[in-house]
Amino acid sequence: MTSIWLRPQGDQEQALQSLVDRVADEHGTVSFPPHLTVCGVPGDLAVLDAAAAYENSPELREFRERLRDITGARPLIPPHISLLYTLDRVSQMPRPDFDAERLEGIAARCAAEIRDTHVTLARPVVNSAGGGETDVRGWKAMRSL
């Protein structure tokens, strides 16, 4: 699985990374770089040239829809910045002990810790999941757009 991410910048990236790391440590889950997933990309890396040449539109929705069309990605999910993946740190399998109540508590704590009301996203990168979509430890930025 390959995807196109927008990454936070500077102090915002450091603050979000610190929060992601702390939450992962507390709950025994995987850590990952903070990012907004723009869209998934099929395995054919030739489509990345088209994505790299695409001029960013002022409307995020339009940008995401067009990029999805260019790359042939799956239907879009709402834009979001993930702070927790409920995957076990060692096996990377989904953890069934994360019910709605527990997740709501974690979300409330994270919301209280995030000082910025707006996050600047830039630095588009192509990220590869390597051995599989849930192989978070194998994720790496393959190319900047």
Q: Give the pLDDT confidence score for residue 128 in this predicted structure.
A: 74
Q: What residue numbers bound the domain in which 99 lies?
A: 2-144
Burial class of residue 124, CB neighbours in 10 A (0-12, 13-18, 19+): buried
Number of independent structural domains in the chain: 1
CB within 8 A of 62, min separation 6: which ones?
A: none
Percent of the chain with pLDDT over 90: 21
Q: What CATH number should be reported for the domain holding residue 102?
A: 3.90.1140.10
pLDDT at 122 over 70: yes
DSSP run (H or E) holding 34 = none
The answer to whether residues 7 and 125 touch, using CB atoms and an 8 Å cutoff, is: yes
pTM: 0.67
33 or 79, which is more confident?
33
pLDDT at 19 over 90: yes
Structure tokens at 47: 């489509």
